[in-house]
Chains A and B, each alone.
Chain A
């Protein structure tokens, strides 16, 4: 059976950037935006992920959700590589402001300044923010 994403537009590759600005669990945005990211990759689009503001908490190591009765979806970030999603960027200012370092993160990321992120964002065709 054909999946919905298989009715794709032939050959067009656009640059999609997902700007993650919200912490996980408190709201559903992080989880549901990850679902959009995976489908976008299935369409063979050029996908970048940015973690900024409280979005940096999405990729904090050691999440354990048994006590709140919700699914721990943080392992999915580690699976992104398998979908050829390798452009993961973290805003240094947001990381610093929250007392985090690269060693706290569950995935390998490129840590960039806001100016560098601004330049990257400017190159995109589609920017989605959750």
Chain B
């Protein structure tokens, strides 16, 4: 049984991402949306934390939120998958339950 977590807060402003990572079990997934997409960028002060968490947790980022913020896929940590809203819907159906880290 695996959970889908969403994080919609910038990791530079709030602890939502930290809390999510520490309470997400191995095998679960994290989808970064809204201002949470900044956690997907490489070369930042949080990139290492995210890369480490990817050992056990699968990370996704919402493409439309990235594009809106002027970020292209080449700026994303390798291994993070970009999905659209249809992909978001699919992720919720493929996981048993859902928690939003606001």
Q: Which residues of A contact B (CB under 8 A)?
A: 19, 21, 52-53, 93, 114, 117-119, 121-127, 129-130
Check B100 against A129 for contact (C-beta < 8 Å): yes
A125: which B residues are within 8 A, CB to CB? 97
Check A21 against B19 for contact (C-beta < 8 Å): yes
Q: Which of B20-28, B62-70, B72-80, B84-92 contacts A (4 or more CB under 8 A)?
A: B20-28
B15-59 interface bits toward A, Cβ cutoff 8 Å, 1 = contact, 0 = none = 100010011110010000000000000000000000000000000
- Beyond the given A21-B101, A125-B97, could you list 8 further A-B residue pairs with CB under 8 A, ordered by the A residue number? A52-B19, A53-B19, A121-B23, A122-B25, A122-B28, A126-B97, A129-B100, A129-B101
Check B99 against A129 for contact (C-beta < 8 Å): yes
Interface SS majority for chain A: mixed
| A125–B3 CA distance with the chains assembled, in angstroms | 10
Taking the closest CB of chain A, its distance from the CB of B62, in whole angstroms, is 18
B3: which A residues are within 8 A, CB to CB? 121-122, 127
Check A119 against B25 for contact (C-beta < 8 Å): yes
Most buried by B among A114, A122, A123, A129: A122
Instruction: Choose one: B19, B22, B97; the contact of A127 (CB below 8 Å).
Output: B97
Check B1 against A122 for contact (C-beta < 8 Å): yes
Taking the closest CB of chain B, its distance from the CB of A84, in whole angstroms, is 23
Task: Name 27 A/B residue pairs within 8 A (Cβ), A-sorted.
Answer: A21-B19, A21-B102, A52-B23, A53-B15, A93-B22, A114-B22, A114-B23, A117-B23, A118-B23, A119-B25, A121-B23, A121-B99, A122-B1, A122-B3, A122-B25, A122-B28, A122-B97, A123-B1, A124-B97, A126-B97, A127-B3, A127-B97, A127-B98, A127-B99, A129-B99, A129-B101, A129-B102
A119: which B residues are within 8 A, CB to CB? 25
A129: which B residues are within 8 A, CB to CB? 99-102
B22: which A residues are within 8 A, CB to CB? 93, 114, 118
B24: which A residues are within 8 A, CB to CB? 118
Closest 9 CB pairs of A and B: A127-B99, A114-B22, A118-B23, A118-B25, A114-B23, A122-B25, A129-B100, A117-B23, A53-B19
